[in-house]
Structure 1
Amino acid sequence: MPIRTYGREDSDVRLLWTHGGGFFTGDLDMPEAHLVSTELAARADAFVVSVDYRLAGDGVRYPAPLDDVHDEWKALCAERSDARVAIGGASAGAALALATALRTRDGDGRLPDALLLVYPFCHFPNPALDEETRAVMATMPELGRQTPAAVEDMVRTYVGRITDLPPYAMPGAARLSGLPATGILLSEFDDLRPSGELLHRQLADERVPVTSHLVRGVPHGHLNLGADFRGFDESLDFLARLLRSR
């Protein structure tokens, strides 16, 4: 599958990065893939592999995208057994990163040393926004929002149904114990923010070390809006610190 690499190959910090796009859009050129990988490689002095997994649609469904990410994860781990290895992703990519970690925990590969999850989409149905945020977002254009109908469409495209979902498909429903230290980056004005907030509580209940950071004033997908967009440096600094920490 197509991949793109960034940073020093001899770095002892290695990251597999998975872009978002609702499981059915996105590529290696989008800022959330290329720009984020470039910045993390520089800020954390890391070797970053950005993976272009198969997109759902046109006969491609779960678990194909997850299989692609998992295969690339095993390949990355095999290259340097002595390195610190992490996996991360944004939105749907965060779900793929988390599901890959769950697969490895359950016996198929090396468990990551860290998880970096950016505005994750991990639950269906998606938890509801609090009343204050819902009132603010009601004034925003529907284009670009993750409404209940849009979330349902994403799940149908990815899995083919909205009932009896496999736990690895929407990993917020899986058993979450035994996972590595996890960082969760949240956007304030984001219909999917409650998914990340719930995931934090779930991980904490399982005694998984978890840290969340809320970026104020930004929408879902803000890392795809370029380095000049509000919150970009704040977000990348948070992720780079987690990637470097041991």
Structure 2
Amino acid sequence: MNVSTTERKIVGPHGEIPVRVYAPTAGERSVSPRLGLVWAHGGGFAGGDLDMPENDWVARQLAQRGLVVVTVDYRLSPLPDGESTGMPEVRRFPYPVASEEVTAAFTWATTSDPTVPAANWALGGASAGGNLAAGAALRLRDTGRPLPRALMLAYPVLHAALPPVPTELVAKVRALPPPFNFGAEQIAAMNLAYVQEPGALAEAYAFPGGHDLSGLPPAFILNCDSDSLRASGQQFGVELAAAGVEVIVMREPGTSHGHLNDPDDPAALRSITRIAEWLTRSTICP
């Protein structure tokens, strides 16, 4: 199946939001999919764009499997103190801007694409994007707006402070080269840079972990094998189950954080297959 892409700018709460829509086609003819996904890339809240593989390659792979995918170029947050991209700086926006923009993009998708019924849209993201997706789902729940039919969270950061890391995971992370061997201190610095105000770390829309998760849709959490953030994904799975939410938590063997950003890694394609199969399974389809 081929894929067409369309660049759009939608109205958001903080100005226009660039989005890219990936739609499956059969030759020159568009097809009429029943399912859609709004997807947010990762990058530590302060990096990433629509062209990174974790966004573009992932979206194309899922569109080839029959889904419409809307990817969101949300505004990036400030960098942690002392860090630099080495590129000309851009204006940066702390929480809640990115979270609110992902929420707005989901609402736009459910009301603007005639090929996918409003109730058939899922919401997801990778790493920081997984955080934004989960926070957006809580905001939609609390404001009485339509919820996604499913949440797809890939190696997400969901807690303001990293939950305790199992001993077997500590050893795996220590064996990794930089920058993949990050620990609780680096994650804490990233999270504080995202919200800027320490008090905001306790807000549910900023870091959903540890808050009331009742009423959320079915969720699939795909963790990396050797990744400190696996502790957050695993704990969030426990919290979802305790709240009565249907959840699957799995670990992709032989992977480190961000493996969806490396299409040459066979594990990335395995994960795409798992994601697509779960998103299209009958038990979460209306």
Give TM-score scaled by structure 1 length.
0.94
Q: CA deviation at 1:133?
A: 1.9
1:78-130 deviations in Å (ceiling 9; x for gaps):
12445511000001100100111111111252101011000010002101221
Q: Is the Cα contact below 8 Å between 1:123 and 1:171 reproduced in 2?
A: yes
Q: Is the Cα contact below 8 Å between 1:69 and 1:97 reproduced in 2?
A: yes
Runs of 4+ in structure 1 off by over 6 angstroms are none
Q: Is the Cα contact below 8 Å between 1:102 and 1:168 reproduced in 2?
A: yes
Q: Is the Cα contact below 8 Å between 1:12 and 1:82 reproduced in 2?
A: no
Report whether the alignment pairs 1:7 with 2:50.
Answer: no
Could you tell me which of 161, 165, 184 is aligned with 1:129?
165
Q: Which residue in the other structure is 2:76 paired with?
A: 55
Q: Which residue in the other structure is 1:33 paired with?
A: 55
Could you tell me which of 111, 115, 118 is aligned with 1:78?
111
Unaligned runs of 5+ in 1: none
Question: Which amino acid is 2:130 matched to?
Answer: A
Report whether the alignment pairs 1:212 with 2:249.
Answer: yes
Alignment of 1:122-201 (within 5 A): 122-165=158-201, 166-201=203-238
Question: Which amino acid is 1:30 matched to?
Answer: M
Alignment of 1:220-239 (within 5 A): 220-226=257-263, 228-239=264-275
Question: Which amino acid is 1:40 matched to?
Answer: L
Question: Which amino acid is 1:39 matched to?
Answer: Q
Q: CA deviation at 1:56?
A: 0.3
Change (3 A) 1:153 1:85: same
Aligned length: 244
Q: CA deviation at 1:225?
A: 1.3
Larger Rg: 2
Percent same amino acid among aligned pairs? 38
SS in 2 for 1:218: strand
Give TM-score scaled by structure 2 length.
0.81
Report whether the alignment pairs 1:99 with 2:135.
Answer: yes
Unaligned runs of 5+ in 2: 1-16, 25-30, 79-90
Q: Is the Cα contact below 8 Å between 2:200 and 2:206 reproduced in 1?
A: no
1:154-177 deviations in Å (ceiling 9; x for gaps):
112110034452111011132100
Distance 2:64 2:182 in 1: 31
Change (3 A) 1:154 1:66: same
Q: CA deviation at 1:180?
A: 0.6
Distance 1:212 1:59 in 2: 33
Distance 2:121 2:185 in 1: 36
SS in 1 for 2:277: helix
